[in-house]
A and B are shown apart, each in its own frame.
Chain A
Amino acid sequence: MTGNHQTPALLLFSVFVAVTLGITTWVSRNRHGSAEEFYAGGRLFSPMENGFAIAGDYMSAASFLGVSGLIALFGYDGLLYGVGFLVAWLVVLFLVAELVRNCGRFTLADVVAARMSERPVRIAAGTSSVTVSVLYLVAQMVGAGSLVALLLGNTGEAARSWAVIGVGALMVVYVSLGGMRATTWIQIVKAVLLLGGTVVLTVLVLLRFHGDFDQLLRTAADRSGHGAAFLAPGLKYGGDWTARFDFMSLGLALVLGTAGLPHILSRFYTVPTARAARRSVVWAIGLIGGFYLMTIVLGFGAAAIVGPQAVRGSNASGNTAVPLLALDLGGGADSTGGTVLFAVVTAVAFATILAVVAGITLASSASVAHDLYASLRRRDAEPRSEVTVARIAAVGVGVVAIGLGLLARDLNVAFLVGLAFAVAASANLPALLYSLFWQGFTTRGAVWAVYGGLIPALVLVVLSPVVSGSPESLFPDMDFQYFPLQNPGLVSIPLGFVAGWLGTVTSAEIADEAKHAETEVRSLTGAGAA
């Protein structure tokens, strides 16, 4: 990366920041300051708008740069990520979207706590939501840092730190000033930009091979040095059984985690009805599916055109494959076309990170204010407006994320995302599904389901090779590794479900039949929905 690519990229990125800040001020000009407005954007987005916003929230830099990079380096094994990320949406569509829209108001805890003794359940669900959000947030911050390091030609730690701080500051501004309405519009703008950029690159790759996908695959396989093995699973997750189980664990976390991500759940409250929530998920599945299909073309295209050696040379984990591909497709490093296309791709990647980060910050500030603060504040404390607390919480979450982002900057982005998915699937999904579908589910069951998934997931990560015991770990000099897998999902997700069941059958409390009737009727008909 030489200097002449930087200026146009930074220019484009500044335009995006200016436009989004413009949206934020324009939106906050006539805001009402109500919780409805701040958390749910007034609930009046159309299904198409919300579908684009969901896609914008979901297609993070880890997908755009990470998945295509993995395909460029490991061929077929990268594609497995895309499949998991997409299939997960069927869980959301079938079991979660409409019912959650009908039962809740702003957060996951609204749904789970509706039938239960409210305080402990709210604290549990709020805690796990904030944990998931912070993990996801740190992944995006680390991604932002790597992207800047790439763009500024690895000029060192200072630029990287400033990128993390800058992203954090911007997201706090978006969220605390603009609330859900501004965040949603930023997601929509970003989704359009990202999809537009991906379509252009995909068309260029296919044109390069005269529309012959088979030719593209064969070139990629030849160039990779692995031959036909490049197009089959096993290059990354083959090998010993630990690696294979690790992949199964990741696959399980990906497909079950999406439905427990707080920033995805909160998107369903921005539309007026459950039917609109369903239609926005249908839009989102179409957009996300199309996006991952194009990512496959880009990944194999990068392998065929740039070559895995060059990709690995620029960034060991492959994150720079797509920008390098853009440079080549535009006509090479010294051409105007190459420079412009490179600038567009990096600016889009930045925009992606900013938008995703804003969405997660909003969801976690909602959990802090609506769930934790509302349950934990002292009874005699001066009651503050919940929205004020949420704005302050957004600043707090921003500071925490910047701090952790600076600490964790050497961790792998895809791993952090996988971890966030695993925790969401272990802690949030069991409680959510049980409370929607199980009549006998009790307060103790709900609390156990959340902590019974959350704690094992976090403990297993601490005991995993990610933290200690191998040269790539966070603390390579120490060895307290007792759990062989990097992703805890395979163990912690079943534990979450078992804990919820165990808590329910051992509790003396008998589930309130009328409360369950209310949940069931409301979830399927929308009666009394906010």
Chain B
Amino acid sequence: MQSSNDRARADGDGPETGGPTSHAREHHEDLGRAFVETAGDLHYEDPWYDALASGWGESAVSPHVSEVPGARRERETGAAAAARIYLEVQRSAAFQEVRRRYRRFVVPAVLGFFVWYVAYVVAATTAPEFMARPVAGAVNVALLAGLGQFLSTFLLTWAYARHARLRRDRAALELRWDTQELTRGARGGAL
């Protein structure tokens, strides 16, 4: 864990950070977050944490992405080299892991809330008798379903934000710095 934090930090400090203000801010956020996590130990209770520590990062990404394009840099134009780098990064295990994590959350979540919403709209238009069934006092099924839509939206928002923060952000940030360093190197080499 600690090594991972240091790595992200070191990458953030590197000279490759174009657009100083935005990256300074991102870097700042990252530092703040790392601090909170180490202080609160929240991170370690996440059941996915172990997979996160071993699945990507330390060994997989850097050698794979950084060497191949680097060796060919001089023989290609900047744009072609950049295109090559994006393909390399896309095929890297680290990126595939980030993408897999994103999709494994988003695909079921989108299907889930969309089906739930469509079911709600269809029920409201085709089964008003069912929706009108009283539950408690003046509150009926329709009101509960409507409030349930609000509740599920809030819960999914919270779950998504948490998932992205704990499971994607750091890996994505590292990939971002690595990729930018490579493309900058490639474009610089071509000039």
Interface string of A235-252 (1 = CB under 8 A from B): 001100000110110011
Residues of B89-103 whose CB lies within 8 A of A: 89-90, 95, 98-99, 102
Which B residues lie within 8 Å of A276 (CB)?
25, 29
Which B residues lie within 8 Å of A526 (CB)?
172-173, 176
Q: How far is the CB of A435 from chain B (nearest CB, A)?
A: 16
Is B22 an interface residue, CB under 8 A from the partner? yes
Question: What is the number of contacts between chain A and chain B, taking CB atoms within 8 Å?
Answer: 182
Do A527 and B90 touch (CB < 8 A)? Answer: no
How large, as a class, is the contact surface on chain B? 35 or more
Between B22, B87, B160, the greatest number of chain A beta carbons within 10 A of the residue's beta carbon is seen for B22
Chain A: CB-nearest residue to B99 = A524
Do B95 and A521 touch (CB < 8 A)? Answer: yes
Chain B: CB-nearest residue to A293 = B150
Do A521 and B142 touch (CB < 8 A)? Answer: no
Known contacts: A514-B86, A525-B175. The answer to whether A273 contacts B157 by CB under 8 A is: no
Known contacts: A233-B128, A272-B26, A521-B90. The answer to whether A90 contacts B156 by CB under 8 A is: yes
How far, in whole Å, are A430 and B118 apart by their CA atoms in the complex? Answer: 19
Which A residues lie within 8 Å of B19 (CB)?
530
Do A233 and B131 touch (CB < 8 A)? Answer: yes
Do B153 and A86 touch (CB < 8 A)? Answer: yes
Do A232 and B140 touch (CB < 8 A)? Answer: yes
Known contacts: A233-B128, A248-B122. The answer to whether A76 contacts B142 by CB under 8 A is: yes
Interface string of A187-214 (1 = CB under 8 A from B): 0000000000000000000000000001
Residues of A490-530 whose CB lies within 8 A of B: 513-515, 517-518, 520-522, 524-528, 530
Chain B: CB-nearest residue to A255 = B117
User: Per a CB cutoff under 8 Å, which of B82, B98, B137, B176 touches A218?
Assistant: B137
Chain B: CB-nearest residue to A251 = B121
Do B110 and A275 touch (CB < 8 A)? Answer: no
How far, in whole Å, are A317 and B117 apart by their CA atoms in the complex? Answer: 26
How far, in whole Å, are A226 and B22 apart by their CA atoms in the complex? Answer: 57
How large, as a class, is the contact surface on chain A? 35 or more
Which B residues lie within 8 Å of A234 (CB)?
124, 128, 132
Q: Is the interface of A mostly helix, strand, loop or mixed?
A: helix
Do B99 and A520 touch (CB < 8 A)? Answer: yes
Chain A: CB-nearest residue to B137 = A214
Q: How far is the CB of B58 from chain A (nearest CB, A)?
A: 18
Interface string of A476-495 (1 = CB under 8 A from B): 00000000000000000000
Q: How far is the CB of B133 from chain A (nearest CB, A)?
A: 9
Which A residues lie within 8 Å of B176 (CB)?
525-527
User: Per a CB cutoff under 8 Å, which of A275, A289, A292, A296 touches B169?
Assistant: A275
How far, in whole Å, are A214 and B136 apart by their CA atoms in the complex? Answer: 9
Is A475 an interface residue, CB under 8 A from the partner? no
Do B138 and A214 touch (CB < 8 A)? Answer: yes
Do B25 and A273 touch (CB < 8 A)? Answer: yes
How far, in whole Å, are A214 and B140 apart by their CA atoms in the complex? Answer: 11
Is B154 an interface residue, CB under 8 A from the partner? yes
Do A80 and B121 touch (CB < 8 A)? Answer: yes
Interface string of A152-163 (1 = CB under 8 A from B): 000000000000
How far, in whole Å, are A285 and B150 apart by their CA atoms in the complex? Answer: 10
Which B residues lie within 8 Å of A293 (CB)?
150
Interface string of A74-109 (1 = CB under 8 A from B): 001001100110110111011100100000000000
User: Per a CB cutoff under 8 Å, which of B142, B153, B168, B175 touches A231?
Assistant: B142
Beyond A76-B146, A90-B109, A524-B102, 10 additional contacts (C-beta under 8 Å) are A87-B117, A228-B140, A232-B128, A237-B124, A251-B121, A276-B25, A278-B161, A524-B172, A526-B176, A527-B180
Closest A-B pairs by Cβ, 6 of them:
A232-B132, A272-B22, A514-B83, A527-B179, A217-B138, A234-B128
